[in-house]
Structure 1
Amino acid sequence: MHRLIPAAPRCRFAIDQGIEMGRPSRIEVEVTRTGDTIGVRIGGRCAISGEGTMYI
C-alpha cells in the first residue's frame, strides 16, 4: 500500500487539475471502507471517460 489515504473508515479530499492548460476543475473524492470493501465516489463537474472494476 502507498498509504496516500488515511486508514480511516471514511476519507474526503479534492483534486485540482487543468490549471496550467487554462481549464481548471476540482473533483471531490470520498473513499469509504467497510470490512474488505472499498467504495469510491467522485463528484464535481466531470465527465465519465471510463468505468470498470478493480481487484486488489
Structure 2
Amino acid sequence: MITHEGHRLAFLSHKETATRSHRTLGTATGGSHEVPTNRPDLVLKETEEMVATPH
C-alpha cells in the first residue's frame, strides 16, 4: 500500500524531473491515473500549448 508520504515523495521526484528537463508538471484535479478518460479537456489544452510553444 502506498502511503501519503510515498505519494509526496513521488510528486517531488516528478516535479524535480520536470524542472530539469524543460517540462511542466500539472495536476489533473478531479481525475485519476486515467487522465485521458477523466479529463480529456485538460489533455487537449496541454497538447495545444505544447505544440504552440517554440522549442
Do these two structures clear the TM 0.5 threshold for a shared fold by scoring above it? no
TM-score relative to the length of structure 1: 0.25
Structure with greater contact order relative to length (CA < 8 Å, sep ≥ 6): 1
TM-score relative to the length of structure 2: 0.26
Hey, which of these two has a bigger chunk of strand by percent?
Answer: 1
